[in-house]
Chains A and B, each alone.
Chain A
Amino acid sequence: MHLTLEFGGGLELLCDAVKIHDVHVEPPVGSEKMTMRDLLLWVQKNLIKERPEMFIKGDTVRPGVLVLVNDCDWELSGQLDTTLEEKDVVVFISTLHGG
């Protein structure tokens, strides 16, 4: 599955200062669909190079990190249970610094 991931608000610094990542991600073995839960694990493993605690807390994003799936607040689509589809655009923005 092809996805576009965008990191902002300082989170890009955790992944080699690259803001936009075009990636190919496959659903976990034995599953047909890919959820945000799966994507977070994949991002942690493959894109985050330093200070993962700035991005993840427990099994979800750290409070203060906004997530948008196709320009839509993920709180409306089920957060971790949001099902991803081909060519989705997922944006992660930290609200924590820079006044």
Chain B
Amino acid sequence: MAEADGKAQKDAGRGGGRLCCICQARKPALKRPKTLQQICRECFYAVFEAEIHEVIVENRLFKPGERIAIGASGGKDSTVLAYVLSELNQRHNYGLDLFLLSVDEGITGYRDDSLETVKRNEMQYGLPLKIVSYKDLYGWTMDEIVKMIGMKNNCTFCGVFRRQALDRGAAMLKVDKLATGHNADDIAETVLLNILRGDIARLSRCTSITTGEDGPIPRCKPFKYTYEKEIVIYPLTPISFYYYFSTECIYSPNAYRGFAREFIKDLERIRPRAILDIIRSGENFRISTSTRMPEQGTCERCGYISSQKWCKACVLLEGLNKGLPKLGIGRTRGPNAEPKQDQMPNGSRSMASKQCGTLDF
């Protein structure tokens, strides 16, 4: 006891003896990147959860009685999201039915481990879990795809397939909406990448907190304004869910995105607000009337939403099944050779290829 007191005193001295600027009572444990406030652990949990509640209410992300799937990868963002949403749902009577939805890409040694984490979440939070696999949906695992196409464009396949797999899983669960764990750092990074690619259509879309409202399953991002640093610190507590999965996808050589990420982290170190500022600039971009948006229709083959005759997944699958895996990568040939509508100037190149291991937009 005496020893513990001595330790606490020493630590207080090391922290400059200052007190938490919210409760003015306890020793601060972290500096919030968003506000630069020094706050204690207890106040941190309170403001972290309160801010997410505020974002949910202000943006009307959910309606009472809705069924909501949480895109669960086993990583830190979706693990914390599942925990926080189920807490807030009870605390504030949102009246939501929550589900966990995971995609099994079929990557040996990577996804099987992270799916174990999701299964643990299912037990801990009592949320029903649905797993959809590439093998069942498309007849191919990522391991098999990589064996066929090599390491070069595999993130393209994975990104296109995952997006569709989540929509199909959500349809099977009959949910009204899909919530994903994208955080403020992810969104800032995507804004930057879309500027670098000159992808105006995605630039204006990627900061929206809810997307796809015209499609089958709208998606929302309750962590849009939540810093990654706080998501990582949040579970480091006596709470029992320190457990999340954190290894890079073994097929993820997406160096370009990696550089953008590092640039964001460099900026954050100099000026933590930079992350919110980048999101703000993304929000403030408006599409000029001369940029034509692709018209949405449905894929003639599988019925999935598509601006062309066949959806991207069907084009890629056709290539795989015919042994022509380059089909659908780079300039489009094959089934979509005659575009149904005017294509975006960069239509076939502009697919999202969010680093594997995280969910794409």
- Residues in chain A within 8 A of chain B (CB atoms): 8-10, 13, 62-64, 66, 68-73, 75-78, 82-83, 85, 87, 91, 93-99
Contacts and interface: CB of A to CB of B under 8 A. Distances in A.
Contacts of B248: 10, 97-98
Given A63-B266, A71-B29, A83-B14, A97 B232 contact: no
A13 B266 contact: no
Contacts of A85: 10
Interface in B144-196: 181-182, 185-186
A75 B30 CA distance: 7
B247 A66 contact: no
A78 to B, nearest CB: 8
28 contacts: A9-B232, A13-B247, A62-B262, A63-B265, A66-B232, A66-B233, A68-B233, A71-B29, A71-B41, A72-B11, A72-B27, A73-B29, A73-B31, A75-B30, A76-B29, A76-B38, A77-B15, A78-B14, A85-B10, A93-B232, A93-B236, A97-B358, A98-B73, A98-B74, A98-B246, A98-B357, A98-B358, A99-B357
Given A72-B11, A76-B38, A83-B14, A96 B28 contact: no
Q: Which 3 A-B pairs have the closest CB atoms?
A: A99-B358, A63-B265, A98-B75
A2 to B, nearest CB: 14
Contact of A99 (B182, B268, B269): B182
A99 B15 contact: no
A40 to B, nearest CB: 16
Contacts of B268: 63
Given A68-B236, A82-B14, A95-B185, 6 more contacts: A10-B247, A72-B27, A73-B31, A76-B31, A77-B15, A99-B73
Interface in B299-327: none
Nearest to A94: B246
B245 interface: yes
Contact of A73 (B30, B78, B244, B262): B30
Nearest to A75: B31
Given A10-B246, A98-B245, A99-B358, A70 B181 contact: no
A96 B11 contact: no
B358 A76 contact: no
Contact of B265 (A64, A70, A97, A98): A64
A8 to B, nearest CB: 7
A27 B182 CA distance: 42
A76 B13 CA distance: 11
B76 A96 contact: no
A39 to B, nearest CB: 14
Contact of B75 (A66, A73, A82, A99): A99
Most B CB contacts (10 A, CB to CB) among A8, A10, A64, A71 go to A64
Nearest to B11: A70
A63 B359 CA distance: 22
B261 interface: yes
A70 B8 CA distance: 10
Nearest to A91: B236
A99 B182 CA distance: 8
A96 B259 CA distance: 11
A99 B261 contact: no
B65 to A, nearest CB: 29
Interface string B9-47: 011001110100000000111110000001001000000
Nearest to B244: A98
Contact of B229 (A8, A77, A87, A95): A95
A75 B33 CA distance: 10
Contacts of A73: 29-31, 233
A64 B29 CA distance: 18
A2 B246 CA distance: 28
Nearest to A10: B246
A70 B114 CA distance: 29
